């Protein structure tokens, strides 16, 4: 039942690689290294200075001193380590057999296999990270784009927690004001007037809402957006699809087709992971637009969160185009006027007439013209034009979003109470609830099952 049992795991991805690392954390880490590691120069691992790498061999003494692998031993002593415990890392030659053999030896010597996320869990439990920071580690690992990496790093460095704590502090000060007016009515102190209280809550609420609003962007950045291209045959859909895929192929490409009819391709547009839905499958069996286009494309419309509607500049608008433009009034879209290198029969203004307030991008895909403008437009549309990596952190975690929503709700109640001139003891009820909700984010009021849920999202070895 001791908490200081020693845990171990292969910390690098499965499969062959240049090196692979077996990480060991806990009070037995250094004794295990002493037992298994035979350094090239004459120094025992327990004498090695902290945060150093030493060359040597892992030897299995139970099997007639067989050399298992040539390794670099990394040694990091408590408390300045990832988990705050003693950590050793065997930097092995990558490959399944050497790594698992070393891992087995470590387990035989008294460590136990770590559960997913257990190293990070220890960092949290040992007080090095707060809950939001620990979660940021998981997000950092799973980040698909530079933008989501930046956001995760910010959260890991504590910026998210700081922001939440700042909101919490403002709420706590207000609560203190309210409490004081209740408990010390005789002291003739200058208590905050109701108007001032209202102003204060509204300011906090505004801040909170802005913060919460980043969640939609956060979700887009983290999980990506499904985008589909719609248009008549020969308008240039395939060319656009290929142009986007070849110029913006995402690092992660292992998203399989989710239905028989469509294939998704992951691309990265300005830091946003986008799953571009190839409607080729549908198009082959039946033309989407010509055959009662809207009806037929419902599948795609349900699936895609954002649509690129394509039109042919060299031809006048047809019935099918007009129908397509209707979609633009009910969905999030960008209008693409393609083939602008040819004689332009249809002008951008004509599209705008049918579909006001929607952005029109002119392209000549075959000439590779307008593709960058289109990418910028997609990014702007998805993240809002003013989006930049602002000072305030971005919410990318559903648990945080939920807690902030509960905080927002409680502040709504506080504002309603103040506006209805409810007495301060009732105002304080919701202030306390809001404060608790914010506390949930950084782990001030958490329960074990939430913890387990959080930590099970980690890959083994972190």
Binding residues (CB under 8 A) for another protein: these are 1-4, 27, 122, 124-127, 130-131, 179-183, 185-186, 188, 410, 413, 420-426, 428-430, 432-433, 436, 442-448, 451
Pick the closer one to another protein by CB: 148 or 181.
181
Least distance CB 63 / another protein (angstroms): 33
Pick the closer one to another protein by CB: 163 or 375.
163
Give the CA distances from residue 254 to residues 137, 143, 144, 250, 265, in Å, rounded to whole numbers and listed in that order: 22, 14, 12, 10, 9
Query: Considering only CA atoms, which of 173, 170, 270, 176 is closest in space to residue 217?
Result: 270
- Asked whether 268 and 250 are in contact (CB, 8 A), the reply is yes
Least distance CB 203 / another protein (angstroms): 23
Pick the closer one to another protein by CB: 170 or 238.
170
Sole residue written with tokens 């919701």: 430
Least distance CB 96 / another protein (angstroms): 32
d(C-alpha 220, C-alpha 311), whole Å: 27
Least distance CB 355 / another protein (angstroms): 42
Least distance CB 298 / another protein (angstroms): 40
HSE-CB of 203 using CA atoms within 13 angstroms: 12
Pick the closer one to another protein by CB: 27 or 457.
27
Pick the closer one to another protein by CB: 162 or 436.
436
Pick the closer one to another protein by CB: 255 or 450.
450
Least distance CB 1 / another protein (angstroms): 6
Pick the closer one to another protein by CB: 276 or 454.
454
- What is the three-class DSSP state of 21? strand
- Asked whether 137 and 153 are in contact (CB, 8 A), the reply is no
Per DSSP bridges, beta strands 19-25 and 7-10 are antiparallel
111: left (phi over 0), alpha (psi -120 to 50) or beta: beta
- Asked whether 363 and 369 are in contact (CB, 8 A), the reply is yes
Report the number of secondary-structure helices (H) and strands (E) in the chain. Answer: 17, 13
d(C-alpha 245, C-alpha 283), whole Å: 19
Least distance CB 278 / another protein (angstroms): 46
């Amino acid at each position: 039942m001791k908490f200081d049992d020693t845990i171990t795991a292969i910390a690098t991805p499965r499969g062959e690689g240049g090196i692979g690392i077996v990480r060991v954390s806990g009070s037995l880490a250094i004794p295990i290294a002493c037992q298994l590691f035979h350094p090239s120069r004459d120094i025992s691992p327990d004498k090695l200075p902290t945060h150093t790498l030493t060359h040597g061999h892992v030897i299995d003494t139970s099997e007639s001193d067989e050399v298992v692998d040539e390794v670099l031993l990394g040694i990091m002593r408590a408390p300045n380590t990832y988990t705050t415990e003693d950590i050793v890392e065997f930097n092995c030659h990558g490959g399944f057999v050497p790594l698992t053999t070393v891992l087995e030896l470590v387990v035989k010597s008294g460590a136990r296999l770590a559960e997913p996320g257990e190293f990070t869990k220890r960092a949290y439990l040992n007080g090095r990270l707060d809950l939001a920071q620990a979660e940021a580690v998981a997000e950092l690992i799973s980040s698909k784009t530079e933008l989501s990496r930046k956001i995760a790093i910010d959260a890991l460095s504590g910026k998210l927690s700081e922001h939440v704590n700042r909101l919490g502090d403002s709420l706590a000060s207000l609560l203190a004001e309210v409490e004081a007016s209740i408990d010390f009515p005789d002291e003739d102190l200058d208590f905050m007037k109701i108007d001032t209280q209202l102003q204060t809550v509204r300011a906090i609420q505004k801040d909170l809402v802005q913060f919460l609003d980043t969640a939609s962007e956060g979700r887009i950045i983290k999980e990506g957006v499904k985008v589909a291209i719609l248009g008549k045959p020969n308008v240039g859909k395939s060319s656009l699809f290929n142009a986007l895929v070849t110029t913006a192929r995402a690092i992660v490409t292992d998203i399989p087709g989710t239905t028989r009819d469509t294939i998704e391709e992951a691309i990265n547009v300005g830091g946003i992971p986008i799953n571009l839905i190839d409607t080729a499958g549908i198009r082959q069996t039946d033309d989407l637009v010509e055959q009662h286009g809207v009806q037929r494309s419902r599948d795609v419309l349900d699936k895609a969160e954002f649509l690129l509607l394509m039109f042919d500049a060299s031809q006048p608008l047809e019935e099918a185009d007009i129908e397509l433009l209707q979609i633009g009034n009910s969905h999030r879209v960008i209008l693409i006027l393609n083939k602008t290198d040819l004689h332009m029969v249809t002008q951008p203004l004509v599209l705008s007439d049918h579909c006001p307030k929607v952005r029109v991008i002119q392209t000549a895909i075959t000439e590779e013209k307008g593709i960058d403008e289109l990418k910028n437009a997609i990014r702007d549309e998805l993240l809002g034009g003013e989006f930049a990596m602002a000072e305030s952190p971005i919410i990318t975690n559903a648990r945080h979003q939920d807690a902030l929503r509960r905080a927002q709700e409680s502040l709504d109640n506080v504002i309603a109470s103040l506006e209805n001139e409810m007495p301060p003891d009732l105002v304080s009820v919701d202030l306390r609830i809001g404060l608790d909700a914010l506390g949930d984010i950084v782990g001030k009021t958490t329960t074990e099952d939430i913890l387990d849920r959080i930590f099970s999202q980690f890959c083994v070895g972190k």
